[in-house]
Structure 1
Amino acid sequence: MSPVAVTDSELSYLTQKQVAKFYDDGYLILPGFLEQDEVAALMERTQRLLDSFDLEGHPLTKFTTGEEEDESKHVGDEYFLSSGDKVRFFMEEDAVGKDGKLNRPKNRAVNKIGHGLHELDPVFREITLHNSKLKSVARDLKFHKDPAILQSMVICKQPEIGGKVPEHNDSTFLYTDPPSAVGFWFALENCTPTNGALSFLPGSHKTTRISKRFVRLREGGTEFEKLAEDNEPTKDEDYVLETCDAGTLVLIHGSVLHKSEKNRSQATRYAYTFHMIESEPYAKYDGKNWLQPTEELPFSKLFEH
Structure 2
Amino acid sequence: MSADRPNWVEEFESKGYAVIEDFATAEECDEMKAEMYRVMNGLDITTEHKTVFSTGEDQQQLKDDYFLTSGDKIRYFFEKDALDEQGELKVEKDKSLNKVGHALHWHSDVFKRFSFSKKMKGVMKGFRLEDPAIIQSMYIFKNPRIGGAVCPHQDASFLWLDPLKLYGVWLAVDDATLDNGCLWFIPGSHQEGKLDGERRMLRVTKKVGDEERVTLKHVGISPTPDDALYTACPVKKGSLVLIHGMVMHKSESNLSEKPRNAYTLHVIEQKGTVWSSENWLQPTAELPFTAMNAN
Q: TM-score range by the shorter chain?
A: over 0.9
1:179 to 152, 155, 164: 164
Identity across matched positions, percent: 38
| 8 Å contact kept, 1:208–1:256 | no
- What does residue 279 of structure 1 align with? 270
Task: Give me the CA root mean square deviation.
Answer: 1.5
What is the deviation of 1:126? 0.3
Q: In the alignment, does 2:49 pair up with 1:49?
A: no
Question: Superposed, which structure 2 residues align to 1:34-183 within 5 Å?
Answer: 34-66=24-56, 71-73=57-59, 75-76=61-62, 77-129=64-116, 131-142=117-128, 144-183=129-168
Show structure 1 runs of 4+ deviating over 6 A: none
Aligned residues: 285
| 8 Å contact kept, 2:51–2:60 | no
Give the gaps of 5 or more residues in structure 2. Answer: 206-212
- State TM-score, norm by structure 2: 0.93
Question: Superposed, which structure 2 residues align to 1:236-247 within 5 Å?
Answer: 236-247=227-238
Q: Please say which of residues 71-80 and 22-31 is displaced more in the overlay.
A: 71-80
Q: In the alignment, does 2:183 pair up with 1:192?
A: no
What amino acid maps onto 1:259 in structure 2? K
| 8 Å contact kept, 2:167–2:243 | yes
Q: Please say which of residues 50-59 and 33-42 is displaced more in the overlay.
A: 50-59
What is the deviation of 1:274? 0.7
SS at match of 2:263: strand
- What does residue 194 of structure 2 align with? 209
- What does residue 3 of structure 1 align with? none
| 8 Å contact kept, 1:171–1:180 | no
- State TM-score, norm by structure 1: 0.90
Q: In the alignment, does 2:22 pair up with 1:32?
A: yes
- CA distance in 1: counterparts of 2:75 and 2:222, whole angstroms: 33
Give the gaps of 5 or more residues in structure 1. Answer: 1-5
Q: Please say which of residues 241-250 and 133-142 is displaced more in the overlay.
A: 133-142
What is the deviation of 1:145? 2.2
